[in-house]
Amino acid sequence: MTEAPHLLLAEDDGILVATLNRPDKLNALSMQLMRSLGEAVERFRDTSALKVMLIRATGRYFSAGADLKEGGGSGAPPQTGSGIREMHRRLPTDMRRIWDEIEHIEKPFVVAHQGMCVGGSLEMSLSCDFRLAAASAGYAFPEAKFGVLPATNGVSRLTRLVGTHWARLLVMANMPVTAAEALNMGLVHKVYADETFEDDVMAFCRHLAQQNGEMMGTAKLAIELCADLNAEQAGAVERMANSALMLMPSYLEGMQRHLGTIGGKKG
């Protein structure tokens, strides 16, 4: 019997929907799945008609993280600190490169968690622009059980998003959190009822797909820059960004229509 694809792809009115499809393996991130996801990310990047990429899953888990049973390559693991650091940097699954690409592409990525999101899949989710949760979802970094850290940008991106206070709870204390707790700490943007989750997620994505693409890409860059700058420098970034956006025909034409509508109401 032929094994089902580990990742399913579909397009829905400008939205590229990538569905993790290993429910019997808790959607563990296999080499096949990672290759397919990398290709999907590149397809999204290079296809102008695609406005939003949604990553979701089937089954009771969003993902249990890396497929440890599959292994991470051939040969013995590194026996030196520098070797281990290099292994993390160049994982056979290409995780770090794919997570970085998700973070850098100037289009919005949405990830939707219908169940537990663990380990490497949480690291992936931290790279996305928007994280949506069903009420029954949950989050954990189990790496501490083995005496190590989530080192594929897990600690760094988590701390950047939720601060040191909550990062300690997930990483040092090795405690899972519910969707409601994740919303409170700023880990997810919205929590939806389980019964309406799929519809709510697609409505969110369709709303994003209607936004101006140049504004979205510029905002993605500006927000990341502003997070690292003082107030004066951050203000300069937003002015510089708008100086380009306000010269675009879409802005000029939109303002003319808007002012014409206002003028018509006044008349």
Q: Please give the Cα distance from 215 to 212 (Å, whole number).
A: 5
Closest CA to 104 of 224, 260, 255: 224
Buried residues in 240-254 as b, exposed as e (16+ CB within 10 A): ebeeeeeeeeebeee
Q: Which amino acid is at 90?
A: R
Prediction pTM value: 0.91
- The span from the CA of 43 to the CA of 15, in Å, is 12
> What is the rounded CA–CA span in Å between residue 133 and residue 192?
6
Q: Which amino acid appears at position 123 of this protein?
A: E
Q: How many C-beta neighbours within 10 Å does residue 119 have?
A: 21
Q: What is the full per-residue pLDDT of the chain (267 aa) written as tens digits?
A: 578 999 999 999 999 999 999 999 999 999 999 999 999 999 999 999 999 999 999 999 999 998 887 754 445 778 887 887 787 777 767 899 999 999 999 999 999 999 999 999 999 999 999 999 999 999 999 998 889 999 888 999 999 999 999 999 999 999 999 999 999 999 999 999 999 999 999 999 999 999 999 999 999 999 999 999 999 999 999 999 999 999 989 888 888 888 887 666 544
Q: Which two tokens stand for residue 134?
A: 């069903």
Give me the active site residues, please.
123, 143
